[in-house]
Chain A
Amino acid sequence: MITFTLNGKQVEAEEGSTILEVAQDYNVKIPTLCNHKALEPAGLCRLCTVELFDGRRTRFVTACNYPVWEDMEVKTHSEDVIGHRKMIVELLLARCPNNEFVKGLAAEFGVEAPRFKLGDDDCVLCGLCVRMCAERMGVSAISMTGRGTDMRVETPFQVKSDICQVCGACESVCPTGRIDVRKIAKYEPRPLVSDWDVGLKERGAIYMPFPQAVPLAAVIDSEACAHIRTGNCGVCKEFCEAGAIDLDQKEEIIEVEVGSIILATGYDLMDTTPMKQYGYGVYPNVFTSLEFERLSNATGPTGGNILMRNGNGELTRPPESVAILHCIGSRDENYHKYCSRVCCMYALKYAHLIKEKVGHKTPVYNFYIDLRCFGKGYEEFYRRCQEEGTIFIRGRPSEITDQALTPKEEGKLIVIGEDTLMNRPCRVAVDMVVLCAAMEARKDTAEVARIFGIIQGADGFFSEQHPKLAPLNTAMGGIFLAGACQGPKDIPDTVAQASGAAARALELAIRGTVEIPSTIAWIDPDVCEGCMTCIKVCDYSAIEFDQQRGVSVVNQTLCNGCGSCVSNCPSKAAHVWQFSEGQILTEFDGIMEGLQAVGM
């Protein structure tokens, strides 16, 4: 431990620490500019200069890189120090008089108009970008070129860099906003977008998945993380005060033995891009229902303000009118024949939210086929929306275009369709269109079905064992379904089904034993030829092959006694208990006796 005087007070510090570190520990604020937690101190801006009395003379040293030693005397805010710092800031302000950051810095130091001739630069040459690129990213795509007043931050020979990995670390540390990675890199940056905000917002390579995530912890995008990709960077580690970041963590596969499994894999929202007539992906203000959900959400990219895109794709101003198109891809011969069940209600919710947030006079058009408001309180909500002034037009629009026919339509999206109640074509010009896209089975449904040995219905969703008698079960014993993986469902239905599936799983767990039906298959090992035909035909994956004995064996807990194996077995080795030939014949004898007894 080292003891020295900091602003007249005795302080203690570890050997090797710098004045700045010790001052931070003792809550003494020393201004810095070119210092960064993740970088080696460079002492270039000289803003952190302090006064040091070494026993013989007073000197000025930079706090960021001056190591402390026994009995030294440091003054961080002497009159001289403050005067010199002000001069530094005045010099920077004269260099960059129009830069907001430097102006702010000057205001902080009480520096008004510089006494020198004004320049017009926006780089203070703090070197943070260059050092970040070299020290942490291991790239050095940019460097300080030139000497003295000619010094600049540049790529070699001012050629766009092909070694720049477009990570944007330079941009992120630049205090003045001068650095633009697009001007440095040869390649276009690929922005990382938030999945949670369906691409409406950018995110870092390390981020919170969503505000209600459990556990609420940051995750690292391994494909984007510079450390995982190159072994460099690791800047996040310097900033995490809890020391929670472990960059060496590897993906691992955990095997858990369980008694039952509930599949709750959810659904995909249909991609509406192929439906060219609706112009999704072409017109910036055509949104999907999920995008609108995030736009209207308080934790969303706009903080809950419903905004539309400007020419640059930025969400800036609220729409003056909105059209909501129901049944996009649902109830459609070309896409999904089924009804997605939830769209009517959320479309009503959107109409209500637009009226609430944008203004009660904002026209909202709902283009529908039928309004299916079948749940508790749903019909009442529909009524309320009608009373709020939402315009309901029955008929699915045929096209969305920006080709205006009248001056009023200029710059708007025109929804073209037919009002089937009025029996006439209609054109509605709006600022924003919301497409209520269909819910569809996840793209990986087939793969998941294969893994769990269950089957998909014609609509692609997982099939339950029986629609009425076993809606939670699958044909595989111990595997249950919950939520939209089984079919489109709204939240109340999902919760109800999930509770039921949980109860089913608990039922097995509490009993600890499994009851199996008496009518299950058995393969006689003395007769079995080992041709494995039965294994191929078993829908329940209940037959395994015994390599040692060379015969097929039935797993009794999985067998449902359907008899497929029996009818297909070429050597007649497969039987179903209680259904042997003798038993059937005896049963038949009994029936005949009964018939005779009653005189038939």
Chain B
Amino acid sequence: MNKLQSEKDYESVRDQVKKERDPERLLVSICAGSGCGAYGTEEVREALEKEISKNGLKRKVEVKVTGCHGFCEQGPIMVIHPEGTFYPKVKPGDIPEIVAETIVNGKVIKSKLYKDPVSKKRIAKEEDIPFYKGQHRIVFGNNGMIDPTKIDDYIAVDGYSALVKVLFSMSSEEVISAIKESGLRGRGGGGFPTGIKWETCRKAHGDIRYVMCNADEGDPGAYMDRSLLEGNPHSVLEGMIIGAYAIGSHDGFIYVRNEYPLAVKNIGIAIKQAEEYGLLGKNILGSGFDFTVKISRGGGAFICGESTALMRSLEGQVGRPRAKYIHTVDKGYRDSPSTLNNVETWANVPIIINKGAEWYASLGTERSKGTKVFSLVGKVRNTGLVEVPMGASLRTIIFDIGGGIPKKRKFKAVQTGGPSGGCIPEDLLDLPVDYQRLAEVGSIMGSGGMIVMDQDTCMVDVARYFLEFLQEESCGQCVPCREGIKRLLEILTDICAGNGREGDMELLEELSGTVSKLSLCALGGTAPNPVLSTIRYFRKEYEAHIYDKKCPSGVCKELFYYEIDEKKCNGCHICCLRCPQEAISGEKKKVHTIDQEKCIKCSICYESCKVDAVAIK
């Protein structure tokens, strides 16, 4: 491949790639994102390719292994184009039938279709599934069409056209003002206006400027950035090149955690291919603009997602934050002006350039524009990555797209923004999700983690769990964060173990105030959010733990016991069979009893009872 030397070269390659693609041709797209991959995409792909060649369909059918489609709950996912037939949870054994029926005969296999858990109906097409229907996938939409290891796939969906537009028809200032007008704000958590960040960096003193991509996604349960880098790495790369052009930078870094091997691999391939095409490196597309990108693999410390810690880590030092009284856009990596944006932010940039700032600004709320990808996990039916316009309500995300809470349990709370986000209760479910509104209710947007909790979740235990995570991940430099989180956790652990004392809640609140206000960086600054928000919305649970020594949700083992309700028990004997401690006794069709001495409160009986006879006392 010769390097592309001009705008024309790019256009001819793009037209060539598009011409080669017949929209009517059969295309089987299999998701190989981390979720589906874990469910066994590789075996499905092998079986499919074998079956296709066995049937002599190789010329007729194209198999595309793509990045994450988002609906991870249903993996491995297979979509057959051009019809858009959607098969969830595909197993290698299903392949012969799918090839014979759907690919050869064009018929839909009804029994293998997705069954909506709410309406109980089978749905054939991807776009009709409520999980996708409720979304607005501008960033994630192309994932299903692209093999992330092939740059041509990205070019085929007009990839790099934004870069061409920027390089040949826009000045740096015009790019910055477009980003400013779009209202794009940092998707990593801080929500700082991206355009202003770029502008400040461009104007900062210094000859060398750096742009960086923060792919150190560390929130438990969040994997938006991972899926983007794995599934559509070129969109991130294109965003970075545009950013570098706007800022006047020639060196870029992608700081990605080494725990994301596929992301590291795919972004590495993407950089190599872009360099081969002349879209990266010296004299990009003959425009005279130079930009190179290096990958730096992080060791996985949560704190390295903090901008100053990330830059120190890049410099080869221990990843510990510094005070940001002098901003990184003035003095960042190696004391040079540096712009750091997260993966999703960069991926939004080409979209803004292509579709226009005005169009982008029309999405979302007054002060939060565009869409946001959430990682919807926890006690929700449709686990996966969800992209919605800013301002969508929590109810829309959790119930319309997420399908609500499984097993007839009741919704209790949702935690947004990762471990240091707050827990939002049921009566705030209609809250439109944007930066301001989340902050108002004591939580944060964060990078988009969304953990749904049901009635069986103990909120004191949740706060304890997240504080435990934060204690582990605190860098330990400053006193309030290191000592404060330790003490918060100590008190919470005591409460959960039944050793709570009067005044604990007040002490938690007082200490939380110091930790949040005095900590050096945002980790400490936001760490008390889980404590404060749970005290604010679930005070009664704390009181039950401290004064009544009871855990109403049946989580804190010292504070409850299981009992079988005589009126409900039908003597099915399942609990008795499943109890690992042999603590349950009773004859079939007669009421069973639990031996409290033997019971270890593992909750197996509670989970397995079909008639809800096992009660938490």
Contact of A84 among B475, B476, B478, B517 (CB under 8 A): B517
Q: Are B476 and A147 in contact (CB under 8 A)?
A: yes
Q: Are A94 and B520 in contact (CB under 8 A)?
A: no
Q: Are B478 and A146 in contact (CB under 8 A)?
A: no
Give the distance to chain B from A48, nearest Cβ to Cβ, in Å. 10
Residue of B nearest to A149 (CB): B486
Known: A61-B325, A94-B487, A115-B507. A45 touches B482 (CB 8 A): no
Give the distance to chain A from B490, nearest Cβ to Cβ, in Å. 6
Q: Are A125 and B518 in contact (CB under 8 A)?
A: no
Q: Is A330 an interface residue (CB 8 A)?
A: no
Q: Are B475 and A46 in contact (CB under 8 A)?
A: no
Q: Are A87 and B478 in contact (CB under 8 A)?
A: no
Q: Is B479 an interface residue (CB 8 A)?
A: yes
Q: Is A163 an interface residue (CB 8 A)?
A: no
Q: Which residues of chain B come closer than 8 Å to A477, judged between CB atoms?
A: none
What 0/1 readout, one digit per residue, does chain A (72-111) give for beta carbons within 8 Å of chain B?
0000000010011001100110110000000000000000
Q: Which residues of chain B come closer than 8 Å to A87, judged between CB atoms?
A: 480, 484, 510-511, 514
Q: Is B1 an interface residue (CB 8 A)?
A: no
Contact of B477 among A44, A80, A88 (CB under 8 A): A44
Task: Tell me, in angstroms, the Cα distance from A61 to B518 when the chains sit together.
Answer: 7
What 0/1 readout, one digit per residue, does chain A (45-68) give for beta carbons within 8 Å of chain B?
111010000000000111001110
Q: Are B490 and A43 in contact (CB under 8 A)?
A: no
Q: Is B456 an interface residue (CB 8 A)?
A: no
Q: Which residues of chain A come closer than 8 Å to B511, judged between CB atoms?
A: 87
- Interface class of chain B by DSSP: helix
Q: Is B513 an interface residue (CB 8 A)?
A: yes
Q: Which residues of chain A come closer than 8 Å to B486, judged between CB atoms?
A: 148-149
Residue of B nearest to A115 (CB): B507
Q: Which residues of chain A come closer than 8 Å to B472, judged between CB atoms?
A: 147-148
Give the distance to chain B from A177, nearest Cβ to Cβ, in Å. 19
Give the most central of A49, A87, A143, A144: most B CB within 10 Å: A87
Give the distance to chain B from A123, nearest Cβ to Cβ, in Å. 12
Known: A43-B323, A88-B514. A125 touches B487 (CB 8 A): no
Report B469-519 residues with CB < 8 Å from chain A CB: 471-480, 482-487, 490-491, 507, 510-511, 513-514, 517-519
Q: Which residues of chain A come closer than 8 Å to B303, judged between CB atoms?
A: 147
Task: Tell me, in angstroms, the Cα distance from A124 to B482 when the chains sit together.
Answer: 11
Q: Are B483 and A46 in contact (CB under 8 A)?
A: no
Residue of A nearest to B481 (CB): A148
Give the distance to chain B from A324, nearest Cβ to Cβ, in Å. 58
Task: Tell me, in angstroms, the Cα distance from A41 to B64 when the chains sit together.
Answer: 56
Q: Are B513 and A84 in contact (CB under 8 A)?
A: yes
Give the distance to chain B from A33, nearest Cβ to Cβ, in Å. 8
Q: Are B476 and A60 in contact (CB under 8 A)?
A: no
Give the distance to chain B from A152, nearest Cβ to Cβ, in Å. 9
Residue of A nearest to B520 (CB): A43
Known: A44-B520, A149-B471. A144 touches B476 (CB 8 A): yes
- Interface class of chain A by DSSP: mixed
Q: Which residues of chain B come closer than 8 Å to A67, judged between CB atoms?
A: 325-326
Interface range, A side: 35 or more
Q: Which residues of chain B come closer than 8 Å to A83, judged between CB atoms?
A: 514
Q: Are A88 and B518 in contact (CB under 8 A)?
A: yes
Task: Tell me, in angstroms, the Cα distance from A280 to B474 when the chains sit together.
Answer: 58
How many chain B residues touch A (Cβ–Cβ < 8 Å)? 34
Contact of B487 among A46, A116, A124, A150 (CB under 8 A): A116
Q: Is A117 an interface residue (CB 8 A)?
A: yes
Give the distance to chain A from B190, nearest Cβ to Cβ, in Å. 15
Give the distance to chain A from B492, nearest Cβ to Cβ, in Å. 13
Q: Are B518 and A151 in contact (CB under 8 A)?
A: no
Task: Tell me, in angstroms, the Cα distance from A434 to B518 when the chains sit together.
Answer: 61
Q: Are A116 and B490 in contact (CB under 8 A)?
A: yes
Contact of B475 among A47, A91, A124, A147 (CB under 8 A): A147
Task: Tell me, in angstroms, the Cα distance from A150 to B474 when the chains sit together.
Answer: 10
Residue of B nearest to A86 (CB): B514
Known: A91-B487, A116-B490. A46 touches B520 (CB 8 A): yes
Q: Are A46 and B478 in contact (CB under 8 A)?
A: yes
Contact of B478 among A44, A60, A94, A115 (CB under 8 A): A44
Give the most central of A62, A95, A124, A147: most B CB within 10 Å: A147
Q: Which residues of chain A come closer than 8 Å to B520, judged between CB atoms?
A: 43-44, 46
Give the distance to chain A from B426, nearest Cβ to Cβ, in Å. 31
Report A128-163 residues with CB < 8 Å from chain B CB: 143-144, 146-151
Task: Tell me, in angstroms, the Cα distance from A128 to B250 when the chains sit together.
Answer: 38
Q: Which residues of chain A come closer than 8 Å to B480, judged between CB atoms?
A: 46, 87-88, 91
Q: Is B301 an interface residue (CB 8 A)?
A: yes
Q: Are A43 and B476 in contact (CB under 8 A)?
A: no
Q: Which residues of chain B come closer than 8 Å to A65, judged between CB atoms?
A: 323, 325
Residue of B nearest to A150 (CB): B476
Q: Which residues of chain A come closer than 8 Å to B478, judged between CB atoms?
A: 43-46
Task: Tell me, in angstroms, the Cα distance from A49 to B323 when the chains sit together.
Answer: 13
Report B310-359 residues with CB < 8 Å from chain A CB: 318, 322-323, 325-326
Q: Which residues of chain B come closer than 8 Å to A47, judged between CB atoms?
A: 479
Task: Tell me, in angstroms, the Cα distance from A65 to B324 when the chains sit together.
Answer: 10
Q: Are B482 and A46 in contact (CB under 8 A)?
A: no
Residue of B nearest to A49 (CB): B518
Task: Tell me, in angstroms, the Cα distance from A41 to B594 when the chains sit together.
Answer: 62
Q: Which residues of chain B come closer than 8 Å to A127, judged between CB atoms?
A: 477
Known: A49-B518, A88-B479. A147 touches B474 (CB 8 A): yes
Give the distance to chain B from A189, nearest Cβ to Cβ, in Å. 28
Task: Tell me, in angstroms, the Cα distance from A61 to B472 when the chains sit together.
Answer: 25
Give the most central of B476, B486, B519: most A CB within 10 Å: B476
Task: Tell me, in angstroms, the Cα distance from A47 to B518 when the chains sit together.
Answer: 9
What 0/1 readout, one digit per residue, does chain A (438-468) give for beta carbons within 8 Å of chain B?
0000000000000000000000000000000
Q: Which residues of chain A come closer than 8 Å to B322, judged between CB atoms?
A: 43
**Can you sample 13 A-B contacts with CB below 8 Å?**
A43-B323, A43-B478, A45-B479, A47-B479, A83-B514, A87-B484, A94-B483, A125-B476, A147-B472, A148-B471, A148-B474, A149-B476, A151-B477
Beyond A147-B473, A148-B482: 6 further Cβ-contacts under 8 Å?
A43-B323, A44-B478, A62-B323, A65-B325, A88-B518, A147-B475
